[in-house]
Chain A
Amino acid sequence: DIQMTQSPSSLSASVGDRVTITCRASQNINTYLHWYQQKPGKAPKFLIYAASSLQKGVPSRFSGSGSGTDFTLTISSLQPEDSATYYCQQSYMIPYTFGQGTKLELK
C-alpha cells in the first residue's frame, strides 16, 4: 500500500494567517493527490483534485501544489470557517489511501 503522511498532525493559527499543510507519499503518485476538509460530525468535503485543481465552489484562498511524492495544501488567509481536519488521499494505486489528517484550529 502507498503510505500517506501529513504534517503537522495539528496546528493552531489566527484569522488572516497563511497556513500550509504537507502531504508526503511513500512512492511516486504523479499528481493523483486530492484534499478533503472534514468538520466535526460531518462528512468530508472535496476541496482539490489532481494536486492543484480547485473543485467548483471552493473558495480561492485554498490552493494545492506538488507532484511525485511531496504535496502541499495552502490557505492564503485563514477564515474562522476553515477550522477543520484536512485529509490528503492518493488515487494512483489501489487501495486508495488517506493521510492521517491535520487538525487545524483557530487561535
Chain B
Amino acid sequence: QVQLQESGPGLVKPSETLYLTCSVSGASISSYYWSWIRQPPGKGLEWIGYISYSGRTDYSPSLNSRVTISVDTSKNQFSLRLISVTAADTAVYYCARGPMATLSSSLDCWGQGTLVSVSS
C-alpha cells in the first residue's frame, strides 16, 4: 500500500522560502512521477508541478519562476521549494503520485496534506 506524508514548517514569513518534503512508503520514488498540489483555505485545487523518475520537471507557469521540485532517492522522498512567498501562498499542500501513465496521467495516491500559513 502506497503512503505519502508531507512534512515541513506550518508557518513561513512573507518573502521567505517555503520548503516541504514528502516521504513515500510502499513504492520506489525512482519508478514513478510525483506531484505537488495546493488548496487555499475554502478554495479549489491548484496543481504546482511534478518530477519524473529521471528528474525531469514540469511546473505551472503561474509558479514557474518561484518553484523547484527535487527528489532524494536515498531517502525515498521528494521536496517542494517555493521562494518569495506571500499571503497568497497560504494553503494546504498535498503531495501525490503521478501523473500515472498507466492511469491516463492521473494522480492516484495523495498525502494527507499540510497547512502552510504565510504570516509575519
> Is B58's CB under 8 angstroms from A49's CB?
no
Give the residue name and chain of the A residue nearest to B60 (CB): A95
CB-CB < 8 A to A32: which residues of B? 104-105
> Is B105's CB under 8 angstroms from A91's CB?
yes
B-side interface size class: 20 to 34
> Is B109's CB under 8 angstroms from A46's CB?
yes
Interface size counted on chain A using CB atoms at 8 A: 25
| Interface of A (DSSP majority class) | loop
> Is A100's CB under 8 angstroms from B44's CB?
yes
Measured in the bound complex, the distance between the Cα atoms of B113 and A36 in whole Å is: 15
> Is A49's CB under 8 angstroms from B44's CB?
no
> Is A44's CB under 8 angstroms from B104's CB?
no
CB-CB < 8 A to B34: which residues of A? none
Q: Which of A40-55 contact B (CB under 8 A)?
A: 42-46, 49-50, 53, 55
> Is B106's CB under 8 angstroms from A101's CB?
no
Measured in the bound complex, the distance between the Cα atoms of B44 and A44 in whole Å is: 11
> Is A87's CB under 8 angstroms from B45's CB?
yes
CB-CB < 8 A to B104: which residues of A? 31-32, 34, 49-50, 53, 91
Interface residue? B72 (CB, 8 A): no
> Is A46's CB under 8 angstroms from B45's CB?
no
Assuming A91-B99, A98-B47, is B112 touching A55 (CB within 8 A)? no
- The chain B residues found within 8 Å of chain A, CB to CB, are 44-47, 58-62, 94, 99-100, 103-113
Q: A-B pairs with the 9 shortest C-beta distances?
A: A91-B105, A50-B104, A95-B60, A34-B106, A96-B47, A43-B110, A49-B106, A98-B45, A49-B103
Sample (5) of A-B pairs whose CB atoms are under 8 Å apart: A34-B104, A34-B106, A43-B111, A94-B60, A98-B45
Given A55-B108, A98-B44, 5 more pairs with CB closer than 8 A: A34-B104, A43-B112, A49-B100, A95-B61, A96-B47
- The chain A residues found within 8 Å of chain B, CB to CB, are 1, 31-32, 34, 36, 42-46, 49-50, 53, 55, 87, 89, 91, 94-101
